[in-house]
Chain A
Amino acid sequence: MVTVSEEKKGRSLLLLFAGVREMGISVFIVFLIAAVSLRSPYFLTVDNLVYILIDIAILTIVAIGETLVILTRSIDLSVASTLALSGMIVGMTISKHQGIPPAVAVLMGLAIGAVLGSVNGLLVAKGRIPPIIATLGTLSIYRGLVFAISGGAWVDAHEMPRPFVYLSKNTTLGIPNLVLFAIIVAIIFYYFLNHTRTGREIYAVGSNPSAARVVGIRVDRILFLVYLLSGTLAGMAGVLWISRYASAQSDTASGFELQAIAATVVGGVNIFGGSGTLPGVVLGSLLMGIIVNALNLIRISPFWKLAVQGFIILLAVVSDALLSRRLQQAGASEGAS
C-alpha cells in the first residue's frame, strides 16, 4: 500500500473527501441495519446476511463496470440490455448443446459482452457520439436483438443443463459462487483502478480530459477500454443472471441500468467523472440490497420498493452534496488561516 500513502501526502484533501464519502454511506448503512434489526430480529442472522450478499452480487458486478465508465465522465445506459442479450444468447446455446460446461458459458458471456461493449466504445471514442446518446441507442438496439433472436420465447429452467443452473447455487469453500464472482471482480478492479497505470489514467481522463491529452494519455483508447470492460462485466452478469433465475427472457433485467447507476452514484462516484472509489460502489450496492431486503422483512408491500429506492438515492446524493460543500468550505477556511 505504498502508493496509497504517497498519494495521501500529495492529495490529502481529495482523499479526505473520498474517505468521508465512504464514511457517510457506512454510517448510513449501520444506522439502517440497527433500525431494521430492531424491527426484525431475523435481519442480523447469518442466513439473511448471506442472502443479501447473494442478492447484490450481480448488481455489484454491473455497477463496477458502470463505475469505470462514469469515472471517465461518460455513462453506459446499455448495460441491462447487454446483460439480457448475453444471457439470451448463452441461454439458447446451452439449451441446444447441453454438454457445454458452465465455465465455458461464463466465458461466452464475457466474450459477447466484450463485443457489445466495444461497439459502444467505437461509437463514443471513434464516432464521437455523446455517451448518453450512443448508449441510449444501443440500449434499444441490444434489447430489440434479444427479442429478435428469441422470437419472444423464453429459455426455461428445464431446458438448461443442471450443472449450469447450479453454478449460481453452489458454494466454493463455503462462499456462495455468486458472491465469489463479485469478490473476484471487485478485487481485480480495485487493483486495476488503484495500482495500474491504465487505472490511474481512467481517473485522469475523468478529472480533466484536455490535461490528460496534454500529458500524453490516449483518451480515445481509455474511453474505448472502459466501455469494453463495462460490456464485458455486463455480459458475464448476464450468464450469472440466467443461471440464478433459471430463465432467459426478452425483458430480463429491464431497467437494471438505473439500479447500477444508482448504486454507483449512491456509492459516492461523481457523475461528472474523476472521483469515486470501488469500495464506495460496493457499499452503494450493499445499501441498495439492504433496503430491498429490509422492506421484505418488515413486511412492507413490494409496491413501496421503487419509491423507497428513489427516496434513498435522492437522500444520499443531497446529503452527500451538502456534506462535501460544508467540507470544502471548512477546507478553504483552513487553507486561508
Chain B
Amino acid sequence: MSHPPVTPSPLLPAGTPPQAKAGAEPTLVLVGNANVGKSVLFNALTGMNQTIGNWPGKTVELANGTFLFQGRHLRVVDLPGIYSLSTYSQEELVAREFLATGLGDVVIDVLDSTVLERNLYLALQLRELETPAVLALNLTDIAAKQGLDIDTELIAAEMGVPVVKTTAAAGKGLELLVETALAHAGKQPAPAPRYGREVEEAVARVQGLLATATLPATVTGMPPRFVALKLLERDPEMERLLAGFPEVVAEAQSIAAELEAVHGHEAAGIIAAERYAVAGRIAAAAVHRSSTGRASGAERLDSLLLHRVLGWTALVLVMFAMFALIFQVGGWAAGLLDGAFAALEEAFYGLGLSQVWANFLWQGLIQGVLAGISVALPYLVPFYVILSVLENSGYLARMAFLTDTIMHRLGLHGKAFIPIFLGYGCSVPAVLGTRIMERDRDRLIAGILATLVPCSARTVVILGLVGAFVGFWPAVSLYLLDLLIVFLAGRLLNRHLPGENVGLIMEMPRLRNPGLRLSLKQTWFRLKDFAAFAFPIIVAGSFLLFVLEWLGWLQPIAAFLAPFTQTVLGLPPVTVIVLVFGVLRKELALIMLAALLGTTEFGLVLSAQQMYVFALIVLLYVPCISTIAVFRREFGTRMAVLVSAGEVALALALGATVNWVWRLAGMIVG
C-alpha cells in the first residue's frame, strides 16, 4: 500500500487553512481508545454542528464540528478510536499523521477511568509527540460506582499535562475541560515521562544520529525523541519517511539490535513493555480502591451473553430481531415510498410537458434518484440505528467473540459475521458494515463475500421465479450453492490476498446503555454522508441506461449477444436487457422480465432450466449500482471495477456450466 506524502492540508476540515493556529479558530483534537465515550463527548460539545465524512482517501470515519464557547468559535476533530500510535491499521495511521504533523492546537486525550492503566499507554505515546495536551478522565461516574478513587493531581504531575475529570454522558466537567484545553493550546508542555535507562540511552544515541543528518521537512516537524523511538521500533511508516537516509535507518537498527541482544526481545516489544511499566506505576499510585464492588448486573448479563449455549441463543434471537426490524421497517417504508412515487409519477406526467421532455426528466433523472431513495434509505435508516446501538452498547464485541470460530473457517475473524449476515438483507449496509474491522484485507474479503450473499432483492427473484415455477428444493439448492461459493471464495481470497491473517484481538468493552439519542444523531449524519457520495453515481447510472434505451441501442445489443445468450446460457435474448437493467435495482429484474416476455406466468414461456440459470446469474452477477457505489467508496474505483467484473464473469461461467450440465444430463436421461 502506498501512502501519499504527508501534506497537511487535506487532513484538516475544508475551509480551515492548515496554519490556522490560536487567534483564528482554535482546533481541539479528540483522541482515545475505542469505547471510552469519545463520541459522546464530541456530541456533547458540538450538538448538531458536525459532519461525518471520510478521511481523504481512507475508509476511516472523520467527524468534525464547531461550537461556541465563551464567545469564541472552536473547532473539534474527533480522531478514530485507537490503542496505539503504531501504523498497523488505517485508524492509527490517520491519527498519527494528523497528530505528528502538528495539526490542531491542543489534543484532548479521553481516558476510561475504570481501565486507567491500559488507557495511559496511549496517553504516554501522545506525550512522546510533545504536543499540548489535556487528559480527560472520562466515565468517572462508573469509576466512582466501582469504588475507585483517582488522584488526578498525581497523574498530572507524572504525565506532565493537566488532567480533568469528566462524565461526558451527563455533561459534567466539560466546561472545565475546554477551559483547561484552551489555556494550554499552543503552549509547550512539560517533558514527557522517561522510560528505563537502557531504552533512554538507545534513544539518546539515535537522537544524536539524527542531529548529524539534514532530515526532510516531514520529519523535522516531529520531536527528535519521537522519531528516535519509532526508528528503534522499526516502524515502517517512519522508515518510509526516512527512505532517503538508509545509513541513519541502518545505524538505528544496529542500536536496536544491541538493545534486543540484552533483552532477548524485539525493541518494539521492549519499548511497549516500558510504557506499560510506567502506566502501571502511575495507575497503581493514583488509583485507590476504597471498596471492592460486587459483581454488577452488567457483569452477570455479560456471563450470560458470552455463555456457550445461552450466549448463542441470545445471539440468534438478536440477529433475527435485527433482521426482522430492518426488513419489516424497511419493507414497510419502501412500500410507502413506492406508492408515493407512483402518485408523483402520475402527477408529473399530468403536468403537460411534451412526451420527450417528460420521459427525459422522469426516466433519465428523477427515477434514478427515487430508485436510490426507495432502495437504500428505508433499509439504511434502521440499519444505521441498529448498528450504532449494537456498537455503543458493546454487544457487537460479544457477537464477534461468539462467531469467531465459524468465521475463522472463512479466513476471517468474528467481526466479519455482521456484514456477511447483513448481506442477506441488503448489500449496501453490508458493505458499509465492513468498517467495523480494522484491517483493509479483512474488510475487502468481508465486503466481497457480503456482495455474493443473496440480498432481499435477489431473494425476490429466486423465490418469484425458481421457488414459484420450478419448486421449493431447487430454490433451496440455489441458496446452498451460494453458501458453497461464499465459502470457497473466502478460502480463495484468504489464501491469495497478500497480508497476514491477524485473527481476533479485540477489547471487550463494558456493556452499557447505548443511548438512543446518540445513535439517532449518528444515523442522521451518516445518512447525509451516504446521500452525498452514492446519489451522483446512482443518477449517472440510471441516466446512462436511459440514454442507451433512448438511442435504441438495447435491442441491437441484445441481438448481437443473442448467440452467446442462447447457446452458452440457453436463455432468451431479451434476458440480456433485463440483466443490464437489473444493475439498477435487482428486484426490477422480475418485473422487466414479465414486461418483455409479455406474461407473469414465467412457467409457460421459460423452461425450468432457463429459470434456474437466470436466477443463478441474477444471484451472483455484479451487485446493484448502489452497492457498487458504496464498494467504490470503501475499497476504491479499481477494486469496485475488478470485483464487479469478476462477479459478472463468475455468474456467466457458473450459469453456462449449469446450463450445459443440465443439458447433458437431459441428453443422458432422455
Q: Do A and B come from one complex?
A: no
Residues of A within 8 A of B (CB): none
Residues of B within 8 A of A (CB): none
